[in-house]
Amino acid sequence: MSRRAVAATLLSAILVAGCGATATPPPASPVVGATQALEPATVAPITPTPAPSAPLVQTVVDAPTVIDVPTEVVSTSTVTPAGASIAADGVTVTVPAGGVANDTEVVIARLGAPFGMNVFAPIGSTDPSALAIGKSFDFGPSGTAFEQPAVITLPYDPANVPDGTDPARITAAYWTGTHWAVAGGNVDPDAHTVTVAVSAFEGEIFTTIAIATGVGILINQGIKWYYGAEGVKSDAISEKNAPKWVTPDDPNVRTTAGTANVDGIPLNDPAKVADYLKRNADKKPAPVTLTGPDGQPTTLGNKYSQAPGKGWQKPADYLTKGNLEGDCTDVTNAMVSMFRALGYPAKGVFGYVVDKDSPHAWAEVVIGGKPYLVDEEGKLQPLDQAMTSMHLIRPDPDDPRASMWDETGQAPYKAEWWNEEIDVNGSWAGTFTVTDVTMTDEARTDATKLAADEGCDLGEALKQLIGKAIPMTMDISVDKSGKGSAIVFVDYSVIKDAKGEPLSSKPSEENVTYVGNRLTLMTEGGSGGMTGMASRSGSTLTIRGTTSLFESGMTMTGVWTVSRNE
3-class secondary structure per residue, 143-191: CEEEEEEEEEEEECCHHHCCCCCCHHHEEEEEECCCCEEEEECEEECCC
Segment among 245-249, 424-428, 436-440, 521-525 with least mean pLDDT: 521-525
Domain boundaries, the chain: 3-29+422-565, 42-225, 247-406
When pLDDT is cut at 50, 70 and 90, the band that residue 306 belongs to is low
| pLDDT at residue 371 is higher than 90 | yes
Segment among 3-12, 47-56, 135-144, 267-276 with least mean pLDDT: 3-12
pLDDT: which is higher, 244 or 502: 244
Give the pLDDT confidence score for residue 26 in this predicted structure: 33
Cβ neighbours for 132, distance < 8 A, ≥ 6 positions apart: 114, 117, 160, 207, 208, 209, 225, 233, 234
Among 2.60.40, 2.60.120, 3.40.630, 3.10.620, name the CATH number for the domain at 247-406.
3.10.620
Helix (H, G, I), strand (E, B) or coil at 16: helix
φ and ψ of 334, to 5 deg:
-65, -45
When pLDDT is cut at 50, 70 and 90, the band that residue 246 belongs to is very high
| pLDDT at residue 101 is higher than 60 | yes
The single-letter DSSP state of residue 304 is B
When pLDDT is cut at 50, 70 and 90, the band that residue 67 belongs to is confident
| pLDDT at residue 215 is higher than 60 | no
Q: Specify whether domain 3-29+422-565 bears CATH 2.40.128.
A: yes
When pLDDT is cut at 50, 70 and 90, the band that residue 153 belongs to is very high
pLDDT: which is higher, 60 or 109: 109
Identical fold for domains 42-225 and 247-406, yes or no, is no
Mean pLDDT of 60-79: 87
Give the pLDDT confidence score for residue 1 in this predicted structure: 38
| pLDDT at residue 202 is higher than 50 | yes
Cβ neighbours for 22, distance < 8 A, ≥ 6 positions apart: none
| pLDDT at residue 102 is higher than 90 | yes
Mean pLDDT of 78-87: 93
| pLDDT at residue 529 is higher than 90 | no
Among 522, 557, 249, 197, smallest CA distance to 406 is for: 249
CATH of span 42-225? 2.60.220.30
| pLDDT at residue 14 is higher than 70 | no
Mean pLDDT of 167-192: 91
Give CA–CA dist 385/73, Å, rounded.
Answer: 46
| pLDDT at residue 464 is higher than 60 | yes
Give CA–CA dist 551/549, Å, rounded.
Answer: 7
| pLDDT at residue 103 is higher than 90 | yes
φ and ψ of 174, to 5 deg:
-140, 155
- The distance in angstroms from the start CA to the end CA of the chain is 25
| pLDDT at residue 125 is higher than 80 | no
Per residue in 180-190, pLDDT (tens digit) is 899 999 999 99
Give the pLDDT confidence score for residue 49 in this predicted structure: 42
Mean pLDDT of 341-367: 87
What is the distance, to the nearest Å, from the Cα of residue 525 to the centroid of all Cα atoms in its chain? Answer: 38
| Whether this model's pTM surpasses 0.85 | no
**For the sheet containing 144-155, what is the strand order?**
42-44, 84-88, 91-95, 144-155, 193-201, 186-188
How high does pLDDT run on average in the chain? 80
pLDDT: which is higher, 560 or 306: 560
Report the percentage of the chain scoring pLDDT > 70. 81
Identify which of 71-85, 110-124, 390-404, 489-503 has the greatest average pLDDT: 71-85
